[in-house]
Every structure is written in C-alpha cells, then in structure tokens.
Amino acid sequence: MEDTISAVATALGEGAVGIIRISGPRSLEIADKIFITPKGRLLGSYGSRHMVYGNIKDIKENIVDEVLGVFMPGPHSYTGEDVVEIQCHGGIQSLQTILRLTFAMGARPAEPGEFTKRAFLNGRMDLAQAEAVMNIIKARSQEALKLALRQQKGQLSDEIRHIRGELKDVIVHLEAIIDYPEEDIEELTFKEVQDCIFIGLNAVNNLLAKAHTGKIMREGLLTAIVGRPNVGKSSLLNCLLKEERAIVSEVPGTTRDVIQEQMLIEGVPLILTDTAGIHKTEDFVESIGVEKTKAILADAELAIVVLDGSEQLRMEDKEILSSIEGREHVIIVNKGDLPCLVDMKALEAKFGPQNILTLSVKTAQGVEEFVQWLKNFVYGAEGSVEKGVFVQNARHEQLLLATKKSLKDALHATEKQIPYDCIVIDLRNAIDNLGAITGETVQDEIINEIFARFCLGK
Ligand SMILES: Nc1nc2c(ncn2[C@@H]2O[C@H](COP(=O)(O)OP(=O)(O)OP(=O)(O)O)[C@@H](O)[C@H]2O)c(=O)[nH]1
Ligand SMILES: [Mg+2]
C-alpha cells in the first residue's frame, strides 16, 4: 500500500465547509506542496493534530482558497496511515481545484470506501466494524444510528469472536484426539462435544432472531395496507402519517393507484403502502389498481389487513384474509366507534387474538395499541434496540445462516456418533463462516465488493 490517495470527504454540493482527505505515506509531503500559512510556514512544521490556518496555492503560486489543515500521523489515524485533512470552502469549484492539486502532487483518486478499507487492512477495525461505518452514514433513525454505532464499537464482533473461540477450542481438542490417538488426552465424550456445539448453535440462533430487527432498521419495514374498498385504508395511512396524504371519501374505489410513503413510528422506519380496495370490478382503471395491490401484497413484509367493523364480513374480506395466511400480518378491525358487526370470536379463533386489533381512525381509539403492536413486531422480546446485539447486515445474516447449518450438521454427526474427523469438518466450516463476518477468513474479492458499496471519500 505504497500509494497515497485523496478524495473529497464531504457531500458534493454547496456547503459552508468541504473536506479533502489525503491518506498514505506521502500525505504530508503533498500537503506541504500546496498549503502555506500567511507567515510562509508549512503544515508539517506544526507537528501532528494541530488545526492550522493557511492558504492553498496552485502550481503558479496563486491562492486558490483559504483553508484549515490538519496532519494526523499513522498509526493512530482513521486509516492507520498518515492522513491530512483540508477544510476549504464547501463549493464544487474550490473542492475540485484542491483535489486536482493533490493529484498533481502525487496522490491518486481514492476508490469508494478506500479509506475505510485501509483502516480494515491496517487492523484499525475489523470487517463488521468497517461495515458499520456505512450503516452509521445510512441510518434513517436515531435507533438505527444507535445500533450502527454499537456495531462500530465492536459489539457484534465481540460476540462472534466469543462463539468462534468456544468452537475453536472444541476443534483443537478433537484434532488432538484424532492426531495423537495413543496419547493420554482426556477423551471428550460425544455428549460433551454435543453440549458445546449446542451452546454455539443457541448463540447463533439468538443473533439470527434479531436479524429481522436489524434489517428493518436498515431498510425500513415494507408494509401493505390492504382490504376491500371503503374500509378505511387511506384513512389509516393518513392517520399514521399525520397528514392528509391520500384522498378519503365515502365512495368505494376512491384509491386507484398505489400510494407509498416512508415514515418513522417511534424509531421504526416504515414504508407504508396504501392500495386500491381489492374487489371484482368492471372498471378498467380500477382493475389495474387491484392487480397492483396484489403485487404489492406479495412483496410486503407485513400485511395490514383493514376490515370495516361496522359491517359483517363480506366474501371479499374473507378472500383477502385467506390470502394472508402463512405470512406476517395484522388485522385491523376499523370503525370501532360504530357498533361492531364482525364476529370477533370467529376471527380470533382463526387468526389468533394477538394479531387482531380494534381501532377507530375517526376517534384515534386503538391507534396507540397498534403502534405498540408494530414495536413488538419489530423489536420482539428485546422490546427496544437499547440492549442486545443486533445483526444489521444482510451479509452477516447469510453467514450466520451458513454457520447454523454447519453446526446443525455437526450436532447431527455427534448424535449418530460419526467419527470425530467429520465433526471437525463441520465445525471448521462454522468457524470459517463466523470469521468471514469479522474479516478473519474472507476472500479479497468479497472485501473489495463490500468497500465498493461505500461512498467516495469514506
Ligand atoms: N365511522 C368511521 N368512519 C371511518 C373510519 N375510518 C374511515 N372512515 C370512513 O370510511 C370511508 C372510507 O374511507 P377510506 O379511507 O377512503 O377507505 P379506503 O379503504 O381507502 O377505500 P378505497 O380507497 O375506496 O379502497 C370514509 O368516508 C371515511 O371517513 C372510522 O374509524 N370510523
Ligand atoms: Mg383508499
């Protein structure tokens, strides 16, 4: 890693301040060629970690911008290398001119995520921590930010290392028995091996149980509000959004197109989709809406089925209810301000009382309970994101699933009392997959792929 890289670290556009970051062995040398204080001193002459006022000059010694510069020597910098940051005026011209000067003096353009990649390669952070940097930048809510910060501090990595360490111990022991059969090594019984694997499997399962929360925090929960016409779907969307987004009217078939809005409910990012009421219709435009609704429902991670509590269930309601069987759902019996004509007992018997809520959009009665239901759905037993380790990246989830499979295979092998060699192979797969999360056992291509998804200058 001999070369020195440079990029604009701040968002492009007009801003008060823009930052150019240079990292690598020639950082200071490059800075000293373009930065000069009014008294003619160079940045390097101020030592490390001093914010120094000065000017950037071009090759012809013309002043290009008035800036602040700071030198952060490795290894205690973000990348672990010598880093210089220049704070200039946050305009595109200023930033691009200074950036080009750094290139002219010997830096090369950084690739997306290359600073953080160097931090990882220099051991400043492991892979899961490096990935958390992007989660921090992309966090959509305070809760998502908290989770990302905890991952960046190494909470997930510590847990993974712990599980991995325990499994490694079992492997080492089993291998000793395999390699030195004549030695007097204390024999691990199949039962003991089983117990150790079981503990590992449990820990992996615990992490996986919370991957669902992490994914929602990262991407938002894709929900579809569905129901037959006129039950109050658009009213519910407006009520949750606290604005009159969708047209509400007493005419059935008011909503014809899909309306999608993003919102936060107590920190839960929701992608809320209001849809056209599902029913058989001769109206061409409306029938397109109904088809779209079905497609949205198929993709949704949560179906919010709205029923009109003031009327008995119709055929259409029943069809919609049967279409959500086997998928995540909540049933809202709306218009709770009117006498209830829906057979709640039959509904509860079929769908379980925990996923059925009575609500009135009109009076807002039951809305709080619905929000609570959503929070339970997202946070599960944890109740919030305040405590616990949450898996936030799809990559980590996939690796944990692979680990789970290997551990299950290993467990199976112990049950059948298959020779230790085979168990060791499964356990090795498990620890390799765990190691790929923290980056200890991961191929270069995957590392490149991960950092390529980062933003430029990070
Ligand atoms: N009494 C009462 N009326 C409600 C309630 N919620 C909605 N409504 C009324 O029900 C009618 C239909 O509401 P919408 O929100 O347009 O219903 P929708 O399900 O979106 O209907 P489509 O778009 O036609 O599929 C409107 O007249 C609303 O004012 C409620 O909680 N109580
Ligand atoms: Mg509507």
Q: What's the CA gap between 300 and 327, in Å, rounded?
A: 9
Give residues (CB < 6 A) around ligand 1. Answer: 227, 229-235, 248-250, 252-255, 276-277, 334-335, 337-338, 360-362
Ligand nearest to C-alpha 358: 1
> Any idea which residue has 């994914």 for tokens?
215
CB neighbour list of residue 176: distance below 8 Å, 6 or more residues apart:
183, 185
Side chain identity at residue 322, one-letter code: S
Asked whether 456 and 447 are in contact (CB, 8 A), the reply is no
Residue 192, token pair as written in the block: 């003991």
- 268: CA distance to ligand 2 center in Å? 23
The tokens of 123 are what? 């051991």
Give me the mean pLDDT over the 136-160 stretch. 92
Residue 13: helix, strand or coil by DSSP? coil
Cα of 345 from ligand 1 centre, angstroms: 24
| pLDDT at residue number 143 | 87
Contact 275/224 with Cβ under 8 angstroms? yes
pLDDT band at 77 (very low <50, low <70, confident <90, very high): very high
**250: CA distance to ligand 1 center in Å?**
6
| 3-state DSSP assignment of residue 305 | strand
- 3-state DSSP assignment of residue 116: helix
- Taking the centre of ligand 1 as the mean of its atom positions, its distance from the CA of residue 301, in whole angstroms, is 24
Work out which ligand 1 atom sits closest to the CA atom of 229: 25
Ligand 1 centre to CA of 234 (Å) is 7
pLDDT, mean of residues 82-96: 96
The DSSP annotation for 16-61 comes to EEEEEEEESTTHHHHHHHHEE-TTS--GGGG-TT--EEEEEE-TTS
The predicted-structure confidence for 181-209, as pLDDT tens digits, reads as follows 777 767 777 888 899 999 999 999 999 98
The answer, yes or no, to whether residue 121 has pLDDT greater than 70, is yes
Report the C-alpha gap between 121 and 439 in whole angstroms: 10
Q: How far is the CA of 252 from the centre of ligand 2 (A)?
A: 8
H helix or E strand, kind and range, residue 84? strand 83-90
Which residue from 380, 355, 381 is spatially nearest to 369, judged by alpha carbons? Answer: 355
Question: b/e for 440-451, b at 16 or more Cβ within 10 A?
Answer: bebeeeebeebb
- CA–CA gap between residue 158 and residue 128 (Å, rounded): 10
- Å from CA of 294 to ligand 1 middle: 20
Which atom, in ligand 1's list, is nearest to the CA of 227?
19
Ligand nearest to the CA of 366: 1
**pLDDT score of 226 more than 90:** yes
* CATH classification (class only), 5-110: alpha beta
233 Cα to the center of ligand 1, angstroms: 7
* Residue to mutate, 225, 235, 335, ligand 1, most ligand atoms under 8 Å from C-beta: 235
pLDDT tens string 296-348: 888 999 999 999 999 999 999 998 998 888 889 999 999 999 999 999 999 99
Give the number of other Cβ atoms within 10 Å of residue 50's Cβ. 11
Instruction: Of 245, 147, 113, 176, give the one whose Cα is nearest residue 424.
Output: 176
Assign 154 to helix, strand or coil. coil
Cα 193 from chain centre: 34
Q: What is the pLDDT of residue 371?
A: 92
The alpha carbon dihedral of 405, 376, 246, 344 has a sign of positive
Q: Are 127 and 450 in contact, with CB atoms under 8 Å apart? A: yes
Q: What fold, for 226-382? A: Rossmann fold (3.40.50)
Please report the atom of ligand 1 found closest to the CA of residue 248: 16
Atom of ligand 1 nearest to the CA of 238: 15
Q: Which atom of ligand 1 is nearest to the CA of 237?
A: 15
Mean pLDDT, rounded, for 422-450:
93
Q: Whose CA is nearest to atom 3 of ligand 1?
A: 335
* DSSP state letter for 242: T
Q: How many CB atoms lie within 10 A of CB 269?
A: 20
Give the mutation target among 230, 233, 250 for probing the ligand 1 site: most ligand atoms within 8 A of CB. 230
In the block, residue with structure tokens 């029943």: 318
Question: Token pair of 250, please?
Answer: 């007493």
pTM: 0.80
Least distant ligand from the CA of 227 = 1
Maximum mean pLDDT: which of 272-281, 283-292, 438-447:
438-447
Nearest CA to ligand 1 atom 23: 255
Taking the centre of ligand 2 as the mean of its atom positions, its distance from the CA of residue 299, in whole angstroms, is 19
Domain extent listing, the chain: 5-110, 132-210+391-452, 226-382
Backbone φ and ψ for 397, nearest 5 degrees, come out as -65, -45
Model confidence band, residue 1 (pLDDT cutoffs 50, 70, 90): low
Q: Is the dihedral of CA 256, 264, 303, 316 positive or negative?
A: negative
Q: Cα separation of 138 and 218, whole Å? A: 8
Q: What local confidence, expressed as pLDDT, does residue 188 receive? A: 73
The dotted CATH code for 132-210+391-452 is 1.20.120.430
Number of Cβ within 10 Å of residue 292's Cβ equals 16
pLDDT tens-place string over residues 249-264 = 888 888 888 899 999 8
310 CA: nearest ligand 1 atom: 1
Ligand 1 atom nearest residue 252's Cα: 24
Which residue spans within 266-358 are E strands per DSSP? 268-274, 302-308, 329-334, 356-358
Q: Which ligand is nearest to the CA of 338?
A: 1
**Rounded alpha-carbon distances, angstroms, from residue 432 to 82, 122, 163, 361, 411:** 33, 21, 12, 52, 17
Strands 221-226 and 302-308: parallel
Beta pairing class for 5-8 and 108-109: parallel
Strands 221-226 and 268-274: parallel
H or E element at residue 108: strand 108-109
Distance in Å from the first CA to the final CA of the chain = 17
